[in-house]
Amino acid sequence: MDAEKKLTFLLENKSLDQELKSIATKVGNGERISEEDGVLLYERGELGYLGVLANFIRERKHGDVTYFNRNFHIEPTNLCVYDCKFCSYSRLIKEREDGWEATMDEMIGVVKSYDSEPVTEVHIVGGVLPQYNLSFYMDLFAAIKKHRPDLHIKALTPVEYHYIFKKAKVDYASGMAMMKGAGLDSMPGGGAEIFHPEIREQIAKDKCNAEQWLQIHEVWHRLGMHSNATMLYGHIEHYWHRVDHMEKLRQLQDKTGGFQTFIPLKFRNKDNQMSHVPEVSVVEDLRNYAISRIYLDNFPHIKAYWAMISRETAQLALGFGVDDIDGTLDDTTKIYSMAGAEEQHPAMTTRELVELIQQAGRHPVERDTLYNIVTDYKDVIFAEDSADKQSRYYQLPVLNSK
Ligand code: SF4
């Protein structure tokens, strides 16, 4: 049954709660839901109901298309001047011997190691340390662009930018313009956590606040550039904090239109100061993806990081509003594994990603960071295992001639 028929079937269900029916009607008519509706969905929306609504929106926007990209990460350091309670990744400066601090040459060496690989994006994010300052990052971006001009640099979050601009005594507008001039192409969505101060002050109190996070994205969007947004969910927040968080994003998106993708990030409780807080269930993960898709009507994409939630949950999420599962990664990030994700060495070949999407009945499309289509894998079959078998990246897919 297609997504529209499922929604019609749901609306004809006489036993459906009237308030849930009213929200489903809004979704069917393409109307925006209110903050009260959002909270009600979290409190009373069952998984099946939410899935019908979210999948209706997902298929209206993208059909069966599911995006992924070919990327790698550079994490300059895991030392950090901040001490976010949920963070399993960072070490304080006094624990320097437990951490790493990559030099400019080492980072350029990582970029060069992909010279023969058809990757389209480098994602740079890590801890906050004084030596990684404004001039360091400008030099790094410029050096990457000089070496490989076509590689899209998606780097740093308002947490880093707020810190380095303050140290350099430049305002957000000047600072972001300097970053753009140096070669920054887009911003990832991290550092958002939960915006509401009631929660933010308990879990991430020293770094940039919600207003600063939103301002830096707004400034970036006003330069004609794009970024993503995240929400760290499933810890000490209440449902209304999640809705408040998404409402702030929805309002900024109405003003600028610069966000591409919303990425719900599941709180993982391994080796951090909140290890006593239990993790939420997979059912709650799927409900959260679905409500994000329903609430953020002006966001083009909802992404699930397969490396964070497992390949199986990522497949399930494709039926609950998600249309993007991120990239090949190539075991270049430790952020998820150190927080306790099932994937301890996250890396997938193009073929594995394509097959993962196809197994879920969806249509795989490789995108670049800005969602331009790189390769449409709808009618692609891979050659039987051959000399390519060990390759991490398939250069030339074989077209199905039928
Ligand atoms: S979440 Fe980011 S800012 Fe906070 S401690 Fe970890 S690395 Fe530092």
pLDDT at 336: 57
80 marked as binding residue: yes
pLDDT at 131: 94
Instruction: Answer with the residue of higher pLDDT: 329 or 193.
Output: 193
Of 96-110, 127-141, 329-343, the range with the highest mean pLDDT is 127-141
Cβ–Cβ < 8 Å for 47, 343: no
pLDDT at 388 over 60: no
Determine whether the shortest distance from the Cβ of 89 to ligand 1 is under 6 A: yes
Q: In this structure, are 49 and 92 located in the same domain?
A: no
Tokens of 311: 């390949």
Rounded alpha-carbon distances, angstroms, from residue 259 to 40, 116, 118, 254: 25, 31, 26, 10
Q: In this structure, are 45 and 89 located in the same domain?
A: no
Secondary structure (DSSP) of 333-345: --HHHHTT-S-SS
Burial of 335 (0-12, 13-18, 19+ CB in 10 A): buried
Determine whether the shortest distance from the Cβ of 207 to ligand 1 is under 6 A: yes
Expressed in angstroms and rounded, the spacing between residue 215 Cα and the centre of ligand 1 is 19
Whether 298 is covered by a domain: the verdict is yes
Determine whether the shortest distance from the Cβ of 86 to ligand 1 is under 6 A: no
Distance CA 216, CA 132 (A): 19
Distance CA 68, CA 368 (A): 8
The SS3 call for residue 176 is helix
Pocket test for ligand 1, best of 95, 207, 208, 231 (most atoms within 8 A of CB): 207
Shortest-distance atom of ligand 1 to CA 86:
1
Whether 385 is covered by a domain: the verdict is no
The SS3 call for residue 265 is strand
Q: In this structure, are 111 and 208 located in the same domain?
A: yes
The SS3 call for residue 367 is strand
Q: What is the pTM of this model?
A: 0.92
pLDDT at 393: 52
Q: 230 has which bridge partners?
A: 263
Q: In this structure, are 129 and 224 located in the same domain?
A: yes
Determine whether the shortest distance from the Cβ of 57 to ligand 1 is under 6 A: no
Q: In this structure, are 351 and 266 located in the same domain?
A: yes
Determine whether the shortest distance from the Cβ of 272 to ligand 1 is under 6 A: no
Determine whether the shortest distance from the Cβ of 92 to ligand 1 is under 6 A: no
Q: In this structure, are 108 and 204 located in the same domain?
A: yes
pLDDT at 45: 97
pLDDT tens digits along 277-315: 999 999 999 999 999 999 999 999 999 988 888 889 999
Per-residue confidence band for 333, with pLDDT thresholds at 50, 70 and 90: low
Cβ–Cβ < 8 Å for 260, 301: yes
pLDDT tens digits along 223-233: 999 999 999 99
Average pLDDT for residues 386-394, to the nearest whole number? Answer: 48
The SS3 call for residue 378 is coil
Residue with token string 């953020």: 296
Average pLDDT for residues 173-187, to the nearest whole number? Answer: 98
Q: In this structure, are 47 and 98 located in the same domain?
A: no
Burial of 43 (0-12, 13-18, 19+ CB in 10 A): exposed
Distance CA 397, CA 354 (A): 11
**Residue 320 dihedral angles phi and psi, to the nearest 5°:** -125, 35
Shortest-distance atom of ligand 1 to CA 126:
7
Query: Would you tell me how many other CB atoms lie within 10 Å of the CB of residue 389?
Result: 10
Expressed in angstroms and rounded, the spacing between residue 91 Cα and the centre of ligand 1 is 9
Average pLDDT across the chain, whole number: 91
Q: In this structure, are 203 and 58 located in the same domain?
A: no
84 marked as binding residue: yes
Per-residue confidence band for 400, with pLDDT thresholds at 50, 70 and 90: very low
Of 45-49, 324-328, 356-360, the range with the highest mean pLDDT is 45-49
CATH of the domain at 153: 3.20.20.70
pLDDT at 381: 74
Q: Specify the residue with its C-alpha closest to ligand 1, atom 4.
A: 84
Pocket test for ligand 1, best of 89, 265, 335 (most atoms within 8 A of CB): 89
Shortest-distance atom of ligand 1 to CA 159:
3
Q: What is the four-CA torsion angle of 329, 335, 337, 340, rounded to 10 degrees? A: -140
Whether 399 is covered by a domain: the verdict is no
Burial of 279 (0-12, 13-18, 19+ CB in 10 A): middle
pLDDT at 343: 63
pLDDT tens digits along 197-247: 999 999 999 999 999 999 999 999 999 999 999 999 999 999 999 999 999
Q: What letter represents residue 73's amino acid?
A: H
N-term to C-term CA, the chain: 26
Q: In this structure, are 17 and 71 located in the same domain?
A: no
pLDDT at 329: 66
Determine whether the shortest distance from the Cβ of 91 to ligand 1 is under 6 A: no
Q: In this structure, are 56 and 75 located in the same domain?
A: no
Expressed in angstroms and rounded, the spacing between residue 163 Cα and the centre of ligand 1 is 12
Whether 398 is covered by a domain: the verdict is no
Dihedral sign, Cα of residue 28, residue 31, residue 37, residue 42: positive
Whether 395 is covered by a domain: the verdict is no
In Å, the largest CA–CA distance within the chain is 65
Tokens of 115: 């010279």
Whether 389 is covered by a domain: the verdict is no
Expressed in angstroms and rounded, the spacing between residue 175 Cα and the centre of ligand 1 is 21
Residue 309 CA from chain centroid, whole number: 12
pLDDT at 42 over 90: yes
Domain count, the chain: 2
Distance CA 86, CA 335 (A): 12
Cβ–Cβ < 8 Å for 54, 289: yes
Whether 386 is covered by a domain: the verdict is no
For the range 8-15, what are the long-range contacts, defined as Cβ-Cβ under 8 Å and sequence gap of 24 or more?
A: 10/49, 10/52, 10/53
Determine whether the shortest distance from the Cβ of 159 to ligand 1 is under 6 A: yes
Whether 381 is covered by a domain: the verdict is no
pLDDT at 398 over 60: no
Q: Specify the residue with its C-alpha closest to ligand 1, atom 2.
A: 127
Expressed in angstroms and rounded, the spacing between residue 83 Cα and the centre of ligand 1 is 6
pLDDT at 344 over 50: yes
Expressed in angstroms and rounded, the spacing between residue 300 Cα and the centre of ligand 1 is 27
Q: In this structure, are 41 and 87 located in the same domain?
A: no
Q: Specify the residue with its C-alpha closest to ligand 1, atom 7.
A: 127
Per-residue confidence band for 401, with pLDDT thresholds at 50, 70 and 90: very low
Distance CA 176, CA 161 (A): 8
Q: Label residues 220-234 b or e (16+ Cβ within 10 Å = b).
A: bbeeebbbbbbbbbb
208 marked as binding residue: no
pLDDT at 395: 46
* Share of residues in the chain with pLDDT > 70 (%): 90
Q: Which domain holds residue 259?
A: 65-376
Q: In this structure, are 272 and 127 located in the same domain?
A: yes
Determine whether the shortest distance from the Cβ of 239 to ligand 1 is under 6 A: no
Distance CA 326, CA 305 (A): 6
**Which residues have C-beta within 8 Å of that of residue 326, sequence separation ≥ 6?**
68, 69, 71, 303, 304, 305, 306, 307
Determine whether the shortest distance from the Cβ of 371 to ligand 1 is under 6 A: no
